[in-house]
Amino acid sequence: MDELRIINFLDAFITNALSVLIPLLLVSRGADVVEIGFIVSMSPVIFVVSRSIFAAMSDQVGVRRFFILNGVMNVVSIAIYMAASSPLAFSVGKMFEGVRNGTIWAVNRTAVMIKRGKGSAAEEMSKVQAIRTASAAMGIVAVGVLLQGHSFEVTLLFFMLLGFVLLGASFLVEGRRRVKVKFGKIFGQLDFRSKSDFLKRTSLVLILQSVATTVPLTLIFPLFLNEMGYDYWLIGLVVAAYYLVSAVVAFFLSKKGEVYVFVCMWVGAFLFLFGAAAVPLLHGVWVIPFILLMGIGDGTSMPIWEILIFNSVRSKKDVSSDIALLHTPPNLCSAVGLILGGVLVKSVGYWSVFLLCGVLFALFSYFSTKLLREAMYFE
């Protein structure tokens, strides 16, 4: 598992650093919150399309070449940002980011399942997610520190160099003999109508958690803290602290039984909702502990997310395709959420977005509980 953990560490370090860096760069160039919402929404839309296609292909040809393509796309997307001088150019960069994310998440869980077997896949993937979350915190801290003393261009160059390291690491993944892709089979693999009712309902439940966490982390936190007058290093530190506490909680729960995880999820739902409701009402350093409460809540949902996913595909043949389809509605809705989030901030205020995300997170806990009971995880 070492090569997969290394790749995930580097990918999360770069990906989440850019999720903070690009909105701040756009603000520095005069873009408003609605424009930024539209630009960052490009990534999840392209992610959905590319992930689905790559996942279906990987079920035929294996996972190695998609990890390599992820490394290539990391370098390409950063190169576009370095050259970008207009909102359109930044949108193109976000599209390449979507392809980059699509390549790794088309095969990430499948690679884990191949290594560990279906019985241990959810536990191992929870650990990988914890590694990614801790790495995300480090990447965001790096953004804050670099921006404090250097330009946006120098900061982007640092992450491009790191992208080359990731590309090199991707060649460590074991591959299989080249197989010709049967494109006619791909359409059958990606036919959502042929999937089980349980998989479809699981996908709908995942929408709630995806929107509730993507919108704050990708759009609202950096802009809200920047508007409050936080320095770049402090914005990076606060968002990184969110990821760090999430990682600690998720890693701790990955070693516990399902019933314990279930109880903690409900505690986490309360903390996330309470924190989201309180943050927009506070000022200065007082927002930080409540953002961390949201991070704790987010961490409790990670093991549940993995349990739901692997429970939905454990008896399936085309695992990568089913996992990709499972994530299609959540990612499309996250794109819509980013656009609407920008519109709501401009027309109503930050409080409306924070509160809506808190409610969605609480609803995720409720409906995931129903699904897990149906799957006989809990009596």
**pLDDT tens digit string along 41-60?**
888 888 888 877 787 777 67
Which regions of the chain are under pLDDT 70? 1, 59, 116-122, 175-196, 255-260, 313-320, 375-379
Residues whose CB falls within 8 Å of the CB of residue 88, separated by 6 or more in sequence, listed in order? none
Residue 271 and residue 293 in contact, taking contact as beta carbons nearer than 8 Å? yes
Burial of 117 (0-12, 13-18, 19+ CB in 10 A): exposed
Instruction: Work out the end-to-end distance of the chain between its first and last CA atoms, rounded to an integer number of angstroms.
Output: 33
Which pLDDT value is given to residue 177?
A: 52
Which pLDDT value is given to residue 18?
A: 92
Residue type, 323: I
> Minimal CA–CA distance to 71: which of 173, 165, 135?
165
Measured N-to-C along each axis, helices 2-28 and 118-149 cross at an angle, to the nearest 10 degrees, of: 40
Which pLDDT value is given to residue 379?
A: 41
Name the residue ranges covered by the structural domains of the chain: 2-173+186-374
Which pLDDT value is given to residue 250?
A: 82
For 139-160, the DSSP string reads: HHHHHHHHHHHS-HHHHHHHHH
Which pLDDT value is given to residue 310?
A: 74
Structure tokens given for 59 = 């079920």
Which pLDDT value is given to residue 124?
A: 75
Residue 170 and residue 283 in contact, taking contact as beta carbons nearer than 8 Å? no
Hey, what CATH topology would domain 2-173+186-374 get?
Growth Hormone; Chain: A; (1.20.1250)
Q: What digits encode the pLDDT tens for the residues 269-280?
A: 999 999 999 999
Q: What digits encode the pLDDT tens for the residues 333-356?
A: 998 999 999 999 999 999 999 999
Residue 136 and residue 8 in contact, taking contact as beta carbons nearer than 8 Å? no
11 φ, ψ to 5°? -65, -45
Which pLDDT value is given to residue 185?
A: 54
> Minimal CA–CA distance to 220: which of 88, 8, 27, 364?
27
Q: Which residues of 217-231 are buried (b: 16+ CB within 10 A; e: fewer)?
A: bbbbbbbbbbeeebe
Structure tokens given for 52 = 């689905």
> Minimal CA–CA distance to 365: which of 196, 159, 213?
213
Which pLDDT value is given to residue 55?
A: 76
d(CA 56, CA 62) in angstroms, rounded, equals 10
357: enclosing H helix or E strand: helix 350-374
For 218-270, the DSSP string reads: IIIHHHHHHHTT--HHHHHHHHHHHHHHHHHHHHHHTTS-HHHHHHHHHHHHH
d(CA 349, CA 92) in angstroms, rounded, equals 28
Which pLDDT value is given to residue 87?
A: 87
Residues whose CB falls within 8 Å of the CB of residue 190, separated by 6 or more in sequence, listed in order? 52, 53, 56, 321, 324, 325
Alpha-carbon separation of residue 96 from 25, 73, 273 (angstroms): 18, 7, 33
Which pLDDT value is given to residue 47?
A: 85
Which pLDDT value is given to residue 270?
A: 94
Q: Looking at the whole model, is its pTM more than 0.75?
A: yes
Q: How many CB atoms lie within 10 A of CB 374?
A: 12
Which pLDDT value is given to residue 279?
A: 94
